[in-house]
Amino acid sequence: MQETRVDIAIIGGGIIGAACAWWLTRRGLKVAVVDARQPAAGTSGACDGYVSISSKKPGVVMALAARSKRLYPEVVADLARDVEYRTAGGLLLVEDPATLPELEARAAGVRDFGFDMRFLDRAAMLAREPRLSPALHGAFHCPAEAIVNPYLMTIGMVERAIERGAVALWDAPVTGFERDGDRLRAVETAKCRVVAEQFVLAGGVWSGEVAARLGLEIPIVPRRGELVVTARAPGLARHYLMSATYIVAKANPEAAESSDDPLMRLGHGFCLEPNALGQYILGSTRSFAGFDRRVTAEGIRAIVTEAVRRLPALAKVPVLRTFAGLRPYMPDKKPVIGRSARVPNLIVATGHEGDGICLSVVTGELVADLVQARAPAVAIDELTPDRFGAALASAA
């Protein structure tokens, strides 16, 4: 079998693997990126592109988002293609005044990281987005929120890494591993054998399966998210719009199992992204359906109905297409970023669920820091891949 020798082998060509490749090649390391399909063929090509801090859970995830938002413009400026990155600002819509104290606490956390986030009453909200429903109580405005095309961002980082010497192995599923004691020596693919000093597992929803073959337990679960894309209708909304129910649905999947609310059972939370073409990406549902990426009639109906309720002018805009993607969900709702003590030359970077687009850039930086034994820019001890118990007894 043909052999490729590199410093770092990255398993996974989605936006996390692409960001790792960008950072590692920028620091002069020789990298191979291995994927069973093509870059962005999975989750990174089936999502919206909100680069947000206001939607993140307070704590380490919000800290990661703050760092990533500051790094994003630097990475985008280095890419050879337009990835449709722009600062659009975000509005977190308030529909129930009783949620104000909780949302204000979140806004205070965002401000602690140096990003402005303030409450707008109904009149101030409508001054910024006149087509929103006047039934809304108001909104929290975070002016620094940005939008990117996740597919183009992934491709752009991969292209730049290849320009710096990275080897790309597409349509190359992993077929096996070669071990030297507790360390990895090589990864075998359908195309060639890749020998490396260190390895990065960035396989998204497939990371758990790969990790199990290495004796690691990473209980990652695919969580399906359905989305709707409208025809072009520029000017209906300028900001990224999100309801507080989106945050509830994202953070509390357990509530869907016991709720009598049909929207909650779908895991629905309203969000709207105005993309660079003048279309609107409407979302979203969140459900556990294995690896099934089919959309559902009830999910799409809920997305469209709830979007029109908040932005009535959408009722006259045709739907162009619908799709669903799989989000890599972790039961403790935190990503996995760190080096495994059980496989000392393996770094895991996965489990970002709906935060992967925003956190990709900082994740790549952290992986590069770990590879080079530098102190990480954000404390990530609680994100270790070894936090889930003993190695699997069935490990190959």
Mind listing the pLDDT tens digit for each residue in 343-391?
A: 999 999 999 999 999 999 999 999 999 999 999 999 999 999 999 864 4
pLDDT one-digit tens code per residue, 112-170: 999 999 999 999 999 999 999 999 999 999 999 999 999 999 999 999 999 999 999 99
Q: What is the mean pLDDT of residues 267-279?
A: 94
Confidence of residue 251 (pLDDT cuts 50, 70, 90): low
pLDDT at 255: 66
Tell me if 207 sits within 8 A of 351, measured CB to CB. yes
Q: What is the mean pLDDT of residues 83-111?
A: 95
pLDDT at 377: 92
pLDDT one-digit tens code per residue, 162-194: 999 999 999 999 999 999 999 999 999 999 999
Instruction: Dihedral sign for Cα 19, 24, 26, 32, please.
Output: negative
Least confident of 36-40, 102-106, 255-259, 262-266: 255-259
pLDDT at 174: 96
pLDDT at 29: 98
pLDDT one-digit tens code per residue, 23-79: 999 999 999 999 999 999 999 999 999 999 999 989 999 999 999 999 999 999 999
pLDDT at 245: 77
Tell me if 91 sits within 8 A of 239, measured CB to CB. yes
- Kindly report the pTM of this predicted structure: 0.95
Average pLDDT score, the chain: 94
Domain ranges of the chain: 3-45+151-220+332-388, 87-145+221-329
What are the beta bridge partners of residue 168? Answer: 33
pLDDT at 391: 41
The domain defined by 87-145+221-329 folds into D-Amino Acid Oxidase; Chain A, domain 2 (3.30.9)
What are the beta bridge partners of residue 3? Answer: 193
The string of DSSP codes covering 109-151 is: HHHHTT---EEEEHHHHHHH-TTS-TTS-EEEEETT-EE--HH
Beta strands in the chain (DSSP E): 3-11, 31-34, 50-51, 86-87, 90-94, 118-121, 138-142, 146-147, 167-169, 174-180, 183-189, 193-201, 221-230, 240-243, 271-274, 280-283, 319-329, 336-339, 346-350
Confidence of residue 246 (pLDDT cuts 50, 70, 90): confident
- The helix/strand/coil state of 254 is helix
* DSSP H or E segment with residue 373: none
Q: What is the mean pLDDT of residues 94-106?
A: 92
Quick check: do 3-45+151-220+332-388 and 87-145+221-329 share a fold? no
pLDDT at 119: 98
The domain defined by 3-45+151-220+332-388 folds into FAD/NAD(P)-binding domain (3.50.50)
pLDDT at 256: 64
Q: What is the mean pLDDT of residues 85-90?
A: 98
Higher pLDDT, 32 or 392: 32
pLDDT at 389: 67
Q: What is the mean pLDDT of residues 234-243?
A: 96
pLDDT one-digit tens code per residue, 187-226: 999 999 999 999 999 999 999 999 999 999 999 999 999 9
On the 0-12 / 13-18 / 19+ scale of CB atoms within 10 A, 139 is buried
Confidence of residue 262 (pLDDT cuts 50, 70, 90): confident
Higher pLDDT, 245 or 105: 105
pLDDT at 249: 66
Q: What is the mean pLDDT of residues 259-263?
A: 78
